[in-house]
Amino acid sequence: MAVKVQLNRLEETVLEYEKEPIEEGKILFIGSSGFTRWSKKYGNKPLEECILGKNGERVAVNHGFGGSTMEEALYYYPRLVRPWKPRAIVLTTFINDRGFLYTPDELMLLMERFFEYARVDMPGIKLYVTDIRPHAKIFDDEARRLWLNHVYAMNQRLKEYADSHDDVTLIRVSQEPMYFKEGAVGDYTQVREDIFIEDRIHFTPYGYELFTDVMRRALDDIL
C-alpha cells in the first residue's frame, strides 16, 4: 500500500507532546481533532479533567493530533504510544482519511497493525476504537454519497473486527441518540447541528459534555 499522506506534516504537534513528562499506565487517547480539540486551548474542559477514575484521580493522557489519519497514528506509534506504556488505548481516526482516498480495506489494515504493535508492547492491554464521529458539514449530493458509502462501510468493518477480538471494544458513537435528530439514530444525514461550532464538524463545549458521557460509559469498567 502506497503512503498517501506526508507523514511528518504534524511533526510540531508531536514534538510538543514529547516535551511532556511520560506518565505510564494511563488510558491513552490518540487520533484526530475530535480528541485534539478536547482541550482548554479550544475553550473546552480538557479530556484529562473529564475522564477521571472512580476516586477522582487523573487516569487519561490526550495525544490527539488534529487532521491526522490512521497512517499517521501508526507512523507516530513509537513516539506517542510506546513510551507511555498505557494500560488502555482509545483510538479515533478515519474522519480525515477519506480526503486522502484511503479505502476501508486500507484503513483496517493500518488499524490492525497499530493494535498488533500495542498487543506486543503491552500484553493484556485493553483496546477501544470509536466508529466515525457524526458531523453536520454540508456536502454536495455526489460528495455526500461517497462520504456516506465510506462511513457506513467503515463502521461495519470496525464492528466486525471488534466482534471478533475479545480485547477490542467498539465505541459506537453512531448509535448514540444524543447526536441525531429525534428518531434518526445512525442516519448521518440527520445529525443535530446545535452541538457543533461554526465549521459544523467540531463539538461545542456542550457537544464535549455529551462526548464525555459516551466515553465514561464505554470505559466504566477500567476507570
Average pLDDT over every residue of 71-81: 97
Give residue 183's pLDDT band: very low, low, confident or very high (50, 70, 90): very high
> In terms of Cα–Cα distance, which of 107, 96, 114 is closest to 1?
107
Is the pTM of the predicted complex or chain greater than 0.85? Answer: yes
Task: Give the cell for residue 15.
Answer: 514534538
Residues 51 and 69: their CA atoms lie apart, in Å, by 24
What are the C-alpha distances in Å from 24 to residues 79, 80, 129, 147?
Answer: 13, 12, 20, 38
Domains detected in the chain: 24-222 (3.40.50.1110)
Helices 141-163, 104-121: crossing angle, 10 deg rounding:
30
pLDDT for position 158: 97
> What is the per-residue pLDDT for 179?
94
Residue 68 has pLDDT above 90, yes or no: yes
**How does pLDDT run across 125-147, given as a tens digit for each residue?**
999 999 998 888 877 788 888 88
Provide the 8-state DSSP code for 58.
B
Q: What pLDDT was estimated at residue 161?
A: 97
Cell matching residue 36: 485534539
Gap between the Cα atoms of 34 and 196, Å rounded: 11
- pLDDT interval class at 173 (50, 70, 90): very high
Distances in Å between the Cα of 102 and the Cα atoms of 97, 150, 161 are 6, 10, 18
- Outline where the chain has alpha helix (H): 11-18, 33-36, 47-50, 70-75, 77-80, 104-121, 141-163, 205-218
Q: Is the pLDDT of residue 52 over 90?
A: yes
CA distance 46 to 40: 5
Instruction: Quote the pLDDT of residue 147.
Output: 87
